[in-house]
Amino acid sequence: MRLKRYSKVWSALAISAILLSACSNDASSTKKPHTTRKMAEQMDTKEFSHKTNNDQPDVADGSLTYGLVSNTPFEGILNKAFYEGEPDNKVISIFDEGLLGTDENFIYDQSGAATYGMSEDKKTITIKIKENVNWHNGDPVTATDLLYAYEVIGSPQYKGARYYTPMDTVVGMDKYHAGKAKKISGIKVVDDKTISISFKEANPSLLTGLWTAPLPKKYLAGVPIGKMDAAYQIRKKPIGFGPYKVKKIVQGESVEYERNNDYWKGRPKLKSIILKVINPQIATASLKKGDIDFADITADQYEQAVSLTNIEVLGGIDLAYDYIGFKLGHWDAKKGENVMDNPKFRDKRLRQAMAYAIDTKLVGEKLYKGLRFPANTVLPPSFPKYYAGDVKGYSMDQNKAERLLDEAGYIDTDNDGLREDLNGKQFTIHFAAMSGSDTLEPLIQYYIQQWREVGLDVQMLEGRLHEFNSFYNRIEKDDKQIDMYAAAWGTGSDPDQSGLWVKKAMFNYTRWVNEKSDRLLKAGISLEAFDETYRKEIYKLWQAHISEEVPLIPTFFRYHLLGVNGRVKGVTLYGGEVADWYHVSVTEEQPVK
């Protein structure tokens, strides 16, 4: 499942048949639940290197080609404050960055384009931008540019989804966001390079989730905030202050980057980078031929990729999880909050039953070659401090699923093998999913078959899989034809997941509103949460609560794999992404074949 893939019918049906056969033969209703922690221990993360091994001398002024694996064009909203899809994020990561660097635990340190200090009461953070940090057009990156990012995201006219904690806890942000103040009182520009940001309460997520991506105020002058996501400066000629500049964009298809000779760290090693969209089905063949220097490796391409002699395979557990979401309500744009008003999945026993009906362990082994493994919760093991490995999650138990459905009143009253609703009427669930790699259609067909086994009539929405951008457009707009959907979240590096879950979070696509969940998430970023023991316990309780209530079914944690040509040097994966493009180089003029 792609983060926020069209299959050949014969291959999809063949794989689906294998899965269904394996389920019927291998998984009984009395099967004991496994724990994801044991599963994670069995998956040896050391079998994949996080760094390229190439130690040959660099080629001066080299160039490489990056294959952006996607069956759909990138959307082209090329700014951190506005993008939504993962493909756009990958495009942005080469030319822009945040001001603060992080250590190996994703905690802000002093290694970035700015340094910071924290007040004694931990309510105010002061950021000082280094003198040689400049936008690609030559303008200096200033404190006013960071203030402008807060003013844009906090504006009532802002259409994006980045307004969440800790952004919304800045002193004075509530009045500014409501249109009752022209300035954000808690943000002070000390001088051209220094800014202080004060918060209502101390929050440990300031050191992992603080917004540190400025917006070039001078470059965007005259662009209304409400139309900024569609502006020329965002779509056609975006700028950042990263190691490479955007030279040319073929919308949705490719990006040509050139070296930023004035990069604050120094002169990057590569002269240029070409990014082009590569269909998942040909990515490995393209790596083999040397048409691209590196690309993500999907599970269905894994066995082919590891057999190639001209590439290295890098990998690690991603900051992400796949899930099946229930549409429980809608987003009220006027109030800026989720409203849980859809009665279809109101009874959590129905949601729990659907979770018990499927076998994610089997799917991970059979369909994903072991590269995805059962997710028991919504914080992945890549957060070792906070991941609740002892939360059981849901392993396949169809007898239990049937009992729960009986208890909830979903009974097959006409003996056709399918359950009716609480009023004795036909009960059909419309299930939406994305198109893409050869794994997607058999996966969805497997889910549908398993739910049918317990008497639930689940139909693929409009009888087909849907293209990535249009899929998410319908999810975001709460299309009433969609009852449930299969998707994936990249969690980001901050353990605070308020931006995906609370009542005020636009990204809360299930539209689940739950007072206890919101309360626990708030406790996780309280003054008390600076105590790591307390914070761990809070997030353990929160994950257990999510598991019990099942607003979504977490299905898989995943390995993120990258195939890298033998001539490439300096690639390090960090949280599933290239850590620093500044260090990447090549040691031969042409790709190794």
Provide the pLDDT for residue 492.
82
d(CA 62, CA 71): 28
pLDDT tens for each residue of 84-135? 888 999 999 999 999 999 987 788 999 999 999 999 999 999 999 999 999 9
* DSSP per position, 340-367: ---GGG-SHHHHHHHHHT--HHHHHHHT
> Does the pLDDT value for residue 14 go beyond 80?
no
Provide the pLDDT for residue 129.
98
The CATH number given to 320-557 is: 3.10.105.10
Provide the pLDDT for residue 45.
42
Report the range out of 72-76, 369-373, 415-419 with the highest average pLDDT.
Answer: 415-419
Sketch the domain layout of the chain as residue ranges.
Answer: 114-226, 320-557
Per-residue pLDDT averaged across 564-588, rounded? 92
Q: Which CATH class is domain 114-226?
A: alpha beta
- How far from chain centre, in Å, is Cα 332? 23
Provide the pLDDT for residue 141.
98
Provide the pLDDT for residue 4.
52
Q: Is the sign of the CA dihedral 580, 494, 101, 91 positive or negative?
A: positive
Confidence of residue 163 (pLDDT cuts 50, 70, 90): confident
Strands annotated E in 298-405 = 311-317, 320-326, 330-332, 337-339, 372-374
- Of 97, 130, 135, residue with least CA distance to 116: 130
| Number of Cβ atoms within 10 Å of the Cβ of 65 | 20
d(CA 211, CA 166): 8
pLDDT tens for each residue of 287-329? 999 999 999 998 888 889 999 999 999 998 888 999 999 999 9
> Does the pLDDT value for residue 422 go beyond 80?
yes
> Does the pLDDT value for residue 40 go beyond 80?
no
- How far from chain centre, in Å, is Cα 574? 14
The larger pLDDT score, comparing residue 185 to residue 281, is at 185
- Phi, psi of 562, deg, nearest 5: -130, 125
The larger pLDDT score, comparing residue 109 to residue 46, is at 109
Provide the pLDDT for residue 3.
54
Longest dimension (CA), the chain: 75
In sequence order, the 6+-apart residues with CB closer than 8 A to the CB of 369 are: 299, 302, 303
> Does the pLDDT value for residue 168 go beyond 70?
yes
Provide the pLDDT for residue 37.
38
The larger pLDDT score, comparing residue 212 to residue 25, is at 212
> Does the pLDDT value for residue 51 go beyond 60?
yes
Provide the pLDDT for residue 384.
87
The larger pLDDT score, comparing residue 159 to residue 130, is at 130
The token duo for 7 is: 């299959």
* Amino acid letter, 165: T
pLDDT tens for each residue of 471-512? 999 999 999 999 999 999 988 888 999 989 999 999 999 999
Percent of the chain with pLDDT over 90: 78
pLDDT tens for each residue of 428-471? 999 999 987 778 899 999 999 999 999 999 999 999 999 988 99
The token duo for 129 is: 């931008």
Provide the pLDDT for residue 1.
55
Percent of the chain with pLDDT over 70: 92
d(CA 535, CA 528): 8
Per-residue pLDDT averaged across 177-195, rounded? 97
Provide the pLDDT for residue 2.
54
> Does the pLDDT value for residue 21 go beyond 60?
no
pLDDT tens for each residue of 68-80? 998 889 999 999 9
CA angle 487, 491, 494 (to 5 degrees): 165
Per-chain mean pLDDT for the chain: 90
Q: Dihedral of the CA atoms 277, 281, 286, 287 (nearest 10)?
A: 100
The token duo for 216 is: 């070039």
